[in-house]
């Protein structure tokens, strides 16, 4: 999507905020802290060092990016000093930031990690990566997820949450259920639940399927037990035919899930729905549409999470293909009473990003009932202008 989630709100152009290709289902309301790898990219020099007796002063042990002689002394400015005095049994990592032109403290790591640190030196900005480079980077950090060295594990986690979903899907042959549960531990580490849901959904093992079904059951459980009649992928089900837990493998509602917060408000809901669509494909759209979009009981967070999950698959051309998601979004725009006015611009922004120009009649109707000072007006105008140019072959 022209997306960049967790910000479940309209960005500058009416769509989701975009963050360097990252899968939006992993990002929070604010950008997560930069990983060690990202900070090293921003430095022209990076080195291992040991603190001296002098405050904020370090003796160079060796450089892993650029050249700095061992034994040289580096002194940090007071504002750049580590918040906690460095430990003597760990090596301090320092970097010389290219733009700020100053030395900064990057963290601490156990001795013996020089070879791993050297592999960070050639990394580039994620905005410059090709799909092949994204995959190579993701494979490298996946191999470090769950390692005993805290900084390596945390770096791997922060890198993977910024990985595009299309790249994550290519990791399937390397995903091991047991390793994922151990490294991401969604029961104990809530901040890792979104990534856990996405990777487990891609792994599609028996344990992964049980986890996704159990976590989603409180959200998708319904009063009725009957299934909605078969409809074309993306066709909204009738209000009298609500979804059932059977659609999730018949798993009972999760006791723990209901204690986290209201099920529909959990922050990893978009990731869980993305994982659900990964297994069920477009066949899941009618049930999810009824429960999470058209139902009077659906919350704004549920609507946003569902549309975001669709957008993630559309952007990745995933288990629900881009064509299927685009057709579904056009269907929703044709019935604007079924989509809140604030969500319609995100659908239009996605269609524009995918160069899907078949929604001109729907967008024209939306534009005609939108006031000139409404930010959505600019989204609709831009779509219609680009659609006209595409039709003219410009």
**Domains detected in the chain:** 36-118 (2.40.50), 124-342 (no CATH)
Q: Looking at residue 391, what DSSP letter applies?
A: H
- Strands 57-65, 43-51: pairing is antiparallel
Q: Looking at residue 148, what DSSP letter applies?
A: S
Looking at the DSSP bridge assignments, the partners of residue 74 are 58
pLDDT band at 276 (very low <50, low <70, confident <90, very high): very high
Predicted local confidence at residue 220, as pLDDT? 85
Name the percent of the chain lying above pLDDT 90: 69
Predicted local confidence at residue 81, as pLDDT? 87
On the question of pLDDT at 316 being above 50, the answer is yes
Predicted local confidence at residue 30, as pLDDT? 54
Burial of residue 241 (CB within 10 Å: 0-12, 13-18, 19+) is middle
Burial of residue 295 (CB within 10 Å: 0-12, 13-18, 19+) is middle
Mean pLDDT, the chain, integer: 84
Which helix H or strand E contains 63, and what residues bound it? Answer: strand 57-65
On the question of pLDDT at 285 being above 90, the answer is yes
Predicted local confidence at residue 388, as pLDDT? 96
Q: Is 333 helix (H, G, I), strand (E, B) or coil?
A: helix
Rounded Cα distance, 314 and 357, in Å: 15
Rounded Cα distance, 375 and 373, in Å: 6
> Residue 336 has which token pair?
């604007």
On the question of pLDDT at 136 being above 60, the answer is yes
Predicted local confidence at residue 23, as pLDDT? 75
H-assigned helices in the chain: 36-41, 114-118, 131-144, 150-160, 165-170, 177-184, 193-203, 206-220, 255-260, 269-280, 285-289, 300-316, 322-333, 344-353, 360-368, 375-391
pTM for the structure as a whole: 0.82
Q: Which residues touch 71 (CB under 8 Å, ≥6 apart)?
A: 59, 60
Q: Which residues touch 390 (CB under 8 Å, ≥6 apart)?
A: 355, 357
pLDDT digits (tens, 9 = 90+) for 209-237: 999 999 999 988 743 333 443 343 344 33
On the question of pLDDT at 327 being above 90, the answer is yes
Rounded Cα distance, 84 and 82, in Å: 5
On the question of pLDDT at 121 being above 90, the answer is yes
Rounded Cα distance, 56 and 221, in Å: 57
Evaluate whether 292 touches 332 at the Cβ level (below 8 Å).
no
Closest CA to 309 of 268, 352, 353, 266: 268
Predicted local confidence at residue 238, as pLDDT? 34
Of 12 and 282, the structure prediction assigns the larger pLDDT to 282
In degrees rounded to 5, what are phi and psi of residue 223?
-70, -35
pLDDT band at 257 (very low <50, low <70, confident <90, very high): very low
**If you write DSSP's letter for every residue of 166-228 in order, what string do you get?**
HHHHHTGGG--HHHHHHHH-TTT-GGGHHHHHHHHHHH--HHHHHHHHHHHHHHH--S--PPP
pLDDT band at 31 (very low <50, low <70, confident <90, very high): low
> Residue 328 has which token pair?
């579904």
Rounded mean pLDDT of 280-303? 92
Rounded Cα distance, 22 and 159, in Å: 9
Of 249 and 52, the structure prediction assigns the larger pLDDT to 52
């Amino acid at each position: 999507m022209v997306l960049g989630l967790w910000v479940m709100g309209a960005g500058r152009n009416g769509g989701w905020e975009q963050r360097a290709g990252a899968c939006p289902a992993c990002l929070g309301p604010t950008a997560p802290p930069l990983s060690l790898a990202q900070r090293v990219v921003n430095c022209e020099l990076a080195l291992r060092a040991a603190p001296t007796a002098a405050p904020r002063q370090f003796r160079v042990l060796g450089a892993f990016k650029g050249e700095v002689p061992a034994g040289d002394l580096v002194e940090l400015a007071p504002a750049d000093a580590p918040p906690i005095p460095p430990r003597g049994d760990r090596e301090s990592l320092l970097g010389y930031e290219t733009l700020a032109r100053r030395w900064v403290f990057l963290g601490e790591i156990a001795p013996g990690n020089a070879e791993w640190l050297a592999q960070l030196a050639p990394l580039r900005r994620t905005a410059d990566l090709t799909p092949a480079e994204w995959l190579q980077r993701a494979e490298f950090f996946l191999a470090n997820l769950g390692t005993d060295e805290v900084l390596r594990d945390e770096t791997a986690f922060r890198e993977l949450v910024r990985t595009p979903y299309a790249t994550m899907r290519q990791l399937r042959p390397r995903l091991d259920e047991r390793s994922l549960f151990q490294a991401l531990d969604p029961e104990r580490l809530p901040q890792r639940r979104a990534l856990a849901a996405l990777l487990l959904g891609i792994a599609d093992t028996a344990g992964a399927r049980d986890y996704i079904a159990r976590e989603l059951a409180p959200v998708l459980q319904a009063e009725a037990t009957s299934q909605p009649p078969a409809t074309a992928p993306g066709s909204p089900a009738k209000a009298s035919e609500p979804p059932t837990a059977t659609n999730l493998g018949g798993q009972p509602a999760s006791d723990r899930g209901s204690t986290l917060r209201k099920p529909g408000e959990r922050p990893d809901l978009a990731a869980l729905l993305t994982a659900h669509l990964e297994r069920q494909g477009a066949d899941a759209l009618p049930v999810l549409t009824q429960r999470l979009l058209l139902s009077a009981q659906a919350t704004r967070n549920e609507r946003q999470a569902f549309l975001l999950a669709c957008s993630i698959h559309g952007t990745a051309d995933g288990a629900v293909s881009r064509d299927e998601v685009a057709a579904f979004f056009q269907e929703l725009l044709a019935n604007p009473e079924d989509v809140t006015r604030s969500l319609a611009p995100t659908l239009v922004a996605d269609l524009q990003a995918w160069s899907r120009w078949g929604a001109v009649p729907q967008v024209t109707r939306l534009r005609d009932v939108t006031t000139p000072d409404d930010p959505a007006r600019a989204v609709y105008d831009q779509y219609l202008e680009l659609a006209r140019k595409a039709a003219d072959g410009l």
